[in-house]
């Protein structure tokens, strides 16, 4: 994947998602929560891009904005060189089969009043004209694919365990043969023993169906397992984007270094020597990010320039992008 990046499937450029803050009697617009602030990246066909970051940094918002489940404030998202954000409602609906999402909470994201067959089959009603028999065959095929017993087709979501429900969510996402799937923390709500099953299922499906994933997670070890490249987000911005191995071995951005130092080592000997970089202070409010670099308030290697000018996001080594003044000179 590293040597021969395939065709770019998803191109995100300058994506911004601001949520307005209103105040007062007349709901005057007084500011914005900059949940996603000027994010650009590319996902190549067949790869998995991991998107990591701490809670509230805008990972999920970013994933939803790409699929236009929110109306982004600015930017462009192209899937197969077709702009998702500029499409009108009908065109967008026709594009939906190509891009799907697996949601975080498998309990809440399935309509409690629909049977499994109805949940998986509904996209088929909407976007295809299969006969009843063909549709049922397709539903069974999908259930087989994700390892669900066919006999469960007429049951309701609440009758399943968490892992099974997530399989329903995956089968639903697969129904229309998508090319691109945003996995929004698909394993965060699951038991550890089930997490591996679901992640392996996702990998298996990727191999079989040639899927492209944007894998959003805060679980760094899981991302290391599944992702080809990893993007690190902090306060609405991507601060580092690199192929998996170099990023985990030698993180460049001070935030990535701190983040990775927090991953516990399974080996007790190595764990003894693990040096954690403890960040001081809290994440600034996304409604009022600091001037200059977003990370300057907590960065252990902060310099004067960090508080003044915002670093640009640029390539410092082949395939490695970082937004930090420490690497700005080397690039110039």
Query: Under the rule (CB under 8 A), what is the footprint of another protein?
Result: 27, 64, 67, 69, 89, 92-97, 100-101, 103-105, 108-113, 115, 122-123, 126-127, 156, 158, 169, 172-173, 176
Smallest separation (angstroms) from another protein to the CB of 98: 9
Angstrom distance (rounded) from CA 255 to CA 53: 10
Smallest separation (angstroms) from another protein to the CB of 96: 3
- Which class for 281: exposed (0-12), middle (13-18), buried (19 or more C-beta within 10 A)? exposed
Closer Cβ to another protein, 102 or 252, answer by number:
102
Closer Cβ to another protein, 44 or 103, answer by number:
103
Closer Cβ to another protein, 84 or 247, answer by number:
84
Closer Cβ to another protein, 63 or 236, answer by number:
63
Instruction: Give how far Cα 192 sits from Cα of 53, 128, 170, 255, 321, Å.
Output: 20, 37, 18, 26, 32
Angstrom distance (rounded) from CA 47 to CA 88: 28
Smallest separation (angstroms) from another protein to the CB of 156: 5
Closer Cβ to another protein, 67 or 306, answer by number:
67
Residues recorded for the chain: 332
Q: Write out the DSSP string of 65-104.
A: HHTTSS--SEEEEEETTEESSS--HHHHHHHGGGEEEE-S
Smallest separation (angstroms) from another protein to the CB of 181: 10
Smallest separation (angstroms) from another protein to the CB of 136: 18
Closer Cβ to another protein, 7 or 158, answer by number:
158
Smallest separation (angstroms) from another protein to the CB of 189: 11
Which residues, at least 6 apart from 13, have a Cβ–Cβ distance to it below 8 Å? 40, 75, 76, 77
């Amino acid at each position: 994947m590293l040597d021969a990046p395939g065709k770019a499937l998803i191109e995100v450029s300058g994506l911004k998602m601001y949520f307005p803050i209103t105040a007062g009697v007349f709901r005057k617009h007084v500011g914005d929560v900059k949940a996603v602030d000027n994010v650009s990246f590319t996902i190549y066909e067949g790869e998995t891009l991991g998107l990591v970051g701490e809670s509230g940094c805008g990972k999920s918002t970013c994933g939803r904005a790409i699929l236009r489940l929110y109306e982004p404030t600015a930017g462009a998202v192209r899937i197969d060189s077709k702009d998702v954000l500029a499409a009108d409602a009908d065109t967008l609906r026709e594009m939906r089969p190509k891009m799907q999402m697996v949601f975080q909470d498998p309990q809440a994201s399935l309509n409690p009043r629909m049977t499994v067959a109805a949940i998986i089959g509904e996209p088929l009603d909407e976007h295809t004209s299969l006969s009843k028999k063909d549709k049922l065959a397709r539903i069974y095929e999908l259930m087989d694919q994700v390892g669900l017993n066919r006999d469960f087709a007429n049951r309701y979501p609440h009758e399943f365990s968490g892992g099974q429900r997530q399989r329903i969510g995956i089968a639903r996402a697969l129904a229309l043969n998508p090319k691109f799937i945003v996995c929004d923390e698909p394993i965060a709500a699951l038991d550890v023993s089930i997490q591996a099953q679901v992640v392996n299922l996702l990998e298996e499906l990727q191999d079989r169906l040639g899927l492209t994933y944007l894998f959003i997670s805060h679980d760094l070890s899981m991302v290391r397992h599944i992702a080809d490249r990893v993007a690190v987000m902090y306060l609405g911005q991507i601060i580092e984007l690199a192929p998996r191995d170099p990023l985990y071995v030698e993180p460049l951005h001070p935030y990535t270094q701190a983040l990775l130092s927090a991953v516990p080592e399974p080996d007790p000997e190595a764990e003894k020597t693990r040096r954690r970089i403890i960040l001081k202070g809290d994440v600034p409010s996304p409604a009022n990010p600091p001037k200059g670099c977003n990370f300057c308030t907590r960065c252990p290697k902060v310099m004067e320039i960090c508080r003044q000018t915002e670093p640009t996001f640029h390539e410092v080594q082949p395939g490695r992008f970082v937004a930090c003044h420490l690497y700005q000179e080397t690039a110039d």
